[in-house]
Each structure stands twice: as structure tokens, then as C-alpha cells.
Amino acid sequence: MELRIAFSPLNFVKRLTVGVVFLTAASIVVQFGKYVYNARWARSPWANMFNLDREMNFPSWYSTLMLAFCAVLLAAIAADKKTQRDRFWRYWKVLSAIFWVLAVDELLSIHEILIVPDVAKALNLPWFLHSMWVIPGIVFVGIFLQKYWKFTLHLPTRSRFHFMLAAGFYIGGSLGMEMIGSYVAELQGQQHLPYALLANLEEVMEMTGIIIFIYGLLYYIGQSTEGVQIKIKWQ
């Protein structure tokens, strides 16, 4: 028995975007309540569940699930490419593993172990490297671009655009905005509205990048295969 599942990638990502808009609006309300109106409710544990600048809450779980979904889609593409003996199938497989790592890191915030202000000052690092985890992050992005350049050129033009746009948003948020946030934190600290809004923008850019990538993957699957098919074999 074969079951065909048909859905619109555009409608799917629209629903994901609605979730991001809701979480962003809720986080901004919390930030204004905390720093502008000094509201007691904005400092409560339940309010932090909507704070984009906090971990182990609704926004971080939402991002984790989206990253994990990317990993599943990439694994499916890798399996399909392997059966076709495509020379780039291992690239898709490694991408899937990378996104599983990103999903785990988003959930547990492992990278924040490297945020050690005293060490950054002792090493006399420039302001944009005070969040020290961006150093291995920049190195990883450089190695990734070198290794995946031919893979990127091999992609169809529209898929290449989707993936590069997604990477621009995600890397711009996770690394670019993190470095800007480090500068603001160095000058004024973290407990004020401008820093909170910058942190929110960082997370929004990351989630936007993930959504664009999901759309790109679904579009690529739709163009390179006959669609999603589930085959059930009765024993």
C-alpha cells in the first residue's frame, strides 16, 4: 500500500512564521514590561517562558523542533541521493548531522560555556569577540564554506538562492548580532531595553533563517522527486 501526502511548502512555512511572530510579540511585551514599566509580572518565571533571550522555554523549544525537522529532511534527501549514487549524498548526510548538533545546542545552550568575560578581558580580545564562542563559530563557518563550495555550485539555481539566503539570516543572527550584542553589553551592560531588543533580533534572524531553509528543502524535495510517498509493506 502506498500513501501519498501532499501539502504546500509555502503554506507550511507561513504557519511556522505565524509561530515566530507570536513568540516575538510576546517576548517584546515581556521586555517592555520589564525595562520600561518595571512590571512585577514581567520578571516572573512564566514571563521568562516567552523571553527570546532565555533558554529552556517556548522559543528555544520551537527553534529546536525546527532545526530537528531540517535534520530529518536532510537525512531523507541523503538517503534518496545515496540510492541514486549521487556523488554529493555524503554532503547531505553531514548536513543532517550538523543540524542535529545545532538542535541539541539550541536546546541545551552548550555554546554558552565559552562565554567567559574574564578570560576575554585577560586575552585582550576585541569587543566583538567577548562572547568567545564566536571564534570557533567563525572558524567552523570558514571551513564549511570551503568544503561545501562545490556542493553549493552543484545545486539548482533557485535552491542555491534559498540555502544561501537562509545561511545569511542564520549566521548573521547567531554570529553577527552576537558580536554587536557583545559590544553593547560591554558599554552598557545587559539589563536594559536596547540590549534585550538586540538579543530578540538575534533570535528572530536565526528562526527566519531556519524557516527559509525548511522552505528551501521542501522546494528541493518537490522539484527533485515525485513527491512524498510512504510505502507500507504488509508481512
Q: Looking at residue 40, what is its pLDDT?
A: 92
Q: Looking at residue 1, what is its pLDDT?
A: 45
CA separation for the pair 85, 55 (Å, rounded):
41
**How crowded is residue 15: how many other Cβ atoms within 10 Å of its Cβ?**
9
Q: What is the pLDDT along the chain (235 residues), one digit of tens a residue?
A: 444 556 688 899 999 999 999 999 999 999 999 999 999 999 999 999 999 988 899 999 999 999 999 999 999 999 999 999 999 999 999 999 999 999 999 998 877 665 655 555 656 677 667 777 888 899 999 999 999 999 999 999 999 999 999 999 999 999 999 899 888 887 888 889 999 999 999 999 999 999 999 999 999 998 875 555 545 444 4
Residue length of the chain:
235
End-to-end CA distance of the chain: 12
Only one residue has cell 564562542, namely 133
* pTM, entire model: 0.90
Can you give the residue ranges of every domain in the chain? Answer: 2-231
Cβ(96)–Cβ(74) below 8 Å: yes
For the stretch 116-119, contacts whose Cβ atoms lie closer than 8 Å and that sit 24 or more positions apart, written own/partner, are none
